[in-house]
Structure 1
């Protein structure tokens, strides 16, 4: 999830820097919010890797 957030932030930064006109769902702001959501999930521990069950 952390890597996905970094990629979304990178794409949003590129689109914002080049002033590329895009749809509402693919705007830099929506990508930033999706990246923040992925970052929050990563900090909660979702998608961080393997875990083992204790018996």
Structure 2
């Protein structure tokens, strides 16, 4: 989120060289993709089955 905010701020400044705007555009894209990926759901591992297997080994 900070990357997209910083890149967006750089893009709106008038009189910036074109190569800086290009880099800021790439940074904006990367930041948006990272923000979207971080919102994806993640499946939690099932630790209860691991505990049961560990208990069975001790019996």
Unaligned runs of 5+ in 2: 51-59
CA RMSD of aligned residues (A): 2.5
Report 1 or 2 for greater relative contact order, CA contacts < 8 Å, sequence distance ≥ 6.
1
Unaligned runs of 5+ in 1: 1-5
State the TM-score, normalized to the length of structure 1.
0.54
Report the structure number with the largest CA radius of gyration: 2
The number of aligned residues is 44
The list of structure 1 runs, each at least 4 consecutive aligned residues, that deviate by more than 2 angstroms after superposition, is none
> Which has the larger helix fraction?
2
State the TM-score, normalized to the length of structure 2.
0.52
